[in-house]
Structure 1
Amino acid sequence: MKIRYVLLHAYGVGGTIRTVFNQAGAMAALGHDVEIASVVRRRAKPQFALDPRVRLAPLVDQRESVAADSLGRKVWRRLRGKLVPRGEFAAEYFTERVEKAVIDYVSALSDGILVTTRPALNLISARRAGKHVVRVAQDHMNLDAYPEPVRADIARYYDRFDAVVVLTRGNQLAYRELLPRTPIVRIPNAVHPAERMSAQEHPVVVAAGRLVWQKGFDLLIPAFGQAARRHPEWRLRIFGSGPKKERLAELIESEGLTGRVSLMGRTGRMAEELAGASIYALSSRFEGLPMVMIEAMGHALPVAAFDCPTGPGDVVTPEVDGLLVPPQDVGALAAALDRLMGDRELRLRIGERAARTARGYAPEAVMPMWEDLFSELLAHEPIMDTYWTDPSHPARRGSRGR
Structure 2
Amino acid sequence: MKIRYLMLHAYGMGGTIRTVVNQANAMAAAGHDVELVSLVRRRETPQFGLDPRISITTLVDQRDGRQQDSIGRRAWRRVRGKMVPRGEFAADYFTERVEWAAMEYVSKLRDGVLVTTRPALNLIAARRASKSVVRVAQEHMNLSAYPDSIRREIARYYDRFDAITVLTRTNRLEYQRLLPSTAIVQIPNAVHKVDQERSQQVNPVVIAAGRLVPQKGFDLLIPAFAQVVSEHPEWRLRIFGTGPRKSQLAGLVEQHGLGAHVSMPGRTDRLEKELTDASVYALSSRFEGLPMVMIEAMTHALPVAAFDCPTGPKDVLTDGVDGVLVPPRDVDALAAALNRLIADRELRVRMGRQAAKTSRAYAPELVMPLWEDLFSELLQGERVVDNFWSSR
Q: TM-score range by the shorter chain?
A: over 0.9
- Equivalent-residue separation in structure 2 for 1:384 and 1:300 (angstroms): 36
Structure 1: which 5+ runs fail to align?
Answer: 390-395, 398-402
Matches within 5 A, 1:347-386: 347-386=348-387
- Equivalent-residue separation in structure 1 for 2:68 and 2:299 (angstroms): 43
Could you tell me which amino acid in structure 1 is paired with residue 92 of structure 2? E
- Within the alignment, does 1:56 sit opposite 2:56 as a pair? yes
Give yes or no for contact 1:286–1:308 (8 Å, CA) kept in 2.
yes
Instruction: Identify the residue that residue 400 of structure 1 maps to in structure 2.
Output: none
Instruction: Identify the residue that residue 97 of structure 1 maps to in structure 2.
Output: 97
- Within the alignment, does 1:260 sit opposite 2:230 as a pair? no
- Equivalent-residue separation in structure 2 for 1:244 and 1:102 (angstroms): 30
Matches within 5 A, 1:3-402: 3-66=3-66, 68=68, 77=77, 80=80, 82-191=82-191, 192-389=193-390, 396=391
Secondary structure at 1:82 match in 2: helix
* 1:221-265 superposed Cα distances (whole Å, 9 cap, x missing partner): 011111221111100000000000000000001011111001110
Q: 1:75 to 1:41 in 2, by over 3 A?
A: farther
- Equivalent-residue separation in structure 2 for 1:281 and 1:153 (angstroms): 34
Secondary structure at 1:137 match in 2: strand
Could you tell me which amino acid in structure 2 is paired with residue 378 of structure 1? L
- Equivalent-residue separation in structure 2 for 1:137 and 1:228 (angstroms): 44
- Equivalent-residue separation in structure 2 for 1:39 and 1:94 (angstroms): 10
Give yes or no for contact 2:38–2:59 (8 Å, CA) kept in 1.
yes
TM value normalised by structure 1:
0.94
Could you tell me which amino acid in structure 2 is paired with residue 51 of structure 1? D
Give yes or no for contact 1:194–1:271 (8 Å, CA) kept in 2.
no
**Aligned-pair distance for 1:193?**
1.6
Could you tell me which amino acid in structure 2 is paired with residue 207 of structure 1? A
User: Following TM superposition, where does structure 1 have runs of at least 4 consecutive aligned residues deviating by more than 2 angstroms?
Assistant: 65-69, 73-82
**Aligned-pair distance for 1:105?**
0.8
Give yes or no for contact 1:15–1:291 (8 Å, CA) kept in 2.
yes
Secondary structure at 2:177 match in 1: helix
- Equivalent-residue separation in structure 1 for 2:100 and 2:169 (angstroms): 34
- Equivalent-residue separation in structure 1 for 2:180 and 2:61 (angstroms): 39
Give yes or no for contact 1:42–1:66 (8 Å, CA) kept in 2.
no
* RMSD across aligned positions (CA): 1.8
* 1:162-221 superposed Cα distances (whole Å, 9 cap, x missing partner): 000000111111100000000100000000224210000100000000000000000000
Give yes or no for contact 1:299–1:355 (8 Å, CA) kept in 2.
yes
Give yes or no for contact 2:304–2:324 (8 Å, CA) kept in 1.
yes
- Equivalent-residue separation in structure 2 for 1:368 and 1:51 (angstroms): 17
Q: 1:378 to 1:76 in 2, by over 3 A?
A: same
Give yes or no for contact 1:80–1:92 (8 Å, CA) kept in 2.
no
Give yes or no for contact 2:186–2:387 (8 Å, CA) kept in 1.
no
Structure 2: which 5+ runs fail to align?
Answer: none
- Equivalent-residue separation in structure 1 for 2:279 and 2:123 (angstroms): 42
Identical amino acids, percent of aligned pairs: 69
Give yes or no for contact 1:81–1:99 (8 Å, CA) kept in 2.
no
Could you tell me which amino acid in structure 2 is paired with residue 212 of structure 1? V
**Aligned-pair distance for 1:82?**
3.3
Could you tell me which amino acid in structure 2 is paired with residue 374 of structure 1? F
**Aligned-pair distance for 1:96?**
1.1
Give yes or no for contact 1:193–1:298 (8 Å, CA) kept in 2.
yes
- Equivalent-residue separation in structure 1 for 2:255 and 2:81 (angstroms): 43
